[in-house]
């Protein structure tokens, strides 16, 4: 993985992307999900990125690079063939509803923006 040192950006320390803690099925998937591109903030706009992993939903999608933000959700890993985790999208909405949060209207809590909400549920 490339990690370029910051070139004189206000002299501050290089901010690293948040490490994704999710364990992926194989090394290829891990490297495909964690493409470290410093030219595109949004993975869907980066031509080097094939897989969009939505940590909060545990969903893997193949990005369709048509200029939009569309992707095709996949159930199996294209590289190792293993079944990918079940989508938690429905549960995500259920859990937010349980907390009285409307994700379309209200601000989504930080732990619901990645897979931390799943971890906290496991500890309950």
Binding-site member from 20, 22, 34, 46 for Zn ion (CB under 5 A) = 46
Instruction: Give DSSP secondary structure letters for 74-103.
Output: ESB-TTT-PBPPPP-HHHHHHHHHHTT--T
Listed in sequence order, the residues at least 6 apart from 38 whose beta carbon sits closer than 8 Å to its beta carbon are: 2, 4
Cβ proximity to Zn ion, 26 vs 72, nearer residue: 26
Interface residues for Zn ion in 5-34 (CB under 5 A)?
A: 25-26, 29
Using the minimum distance from each CB to Zn ion, give the nearer residue, 48 or 94.
48
In which region does residue 110 sit, left (phi positive, over 0), alpha (psi from -120 to 50) or beta (all else)? alpha
Q: State which of positions 53-112 bind Zn ion (CB under 5 A).
A: 77, 79-80
**Applying CB under 5 A, which residues contact Zn ion?**
25-26, 29, 37, 39-40, 46, 48, 77, 79-80
């Amino acid at each position: 993985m490339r990690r370029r040192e910051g070139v004189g950006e206000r002299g501050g320390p290089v901010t690293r992307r948040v490490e994704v803690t999710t364990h992926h099925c194989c090394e290829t998937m891990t490297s495909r999900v964690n493409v470290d591109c410093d030219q595109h903030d949004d993975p869907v706009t980066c031509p080097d990125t094939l897989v969009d992993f939505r940590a909060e939903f545990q969903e893997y999608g193949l990005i369709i690079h048509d200029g939009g933000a569309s992707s095709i959700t996949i159930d199996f890993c294209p590289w190792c063939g293993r079944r990918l985790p079940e989508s938690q999208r429905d549960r995500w909405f259920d859990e937010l509803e349980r907390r009285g949060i409307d994700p379309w209207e209200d601000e989504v809590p930080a732990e619901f923006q990645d897979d931390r909400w799943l971890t906290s549920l496991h500890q309950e």
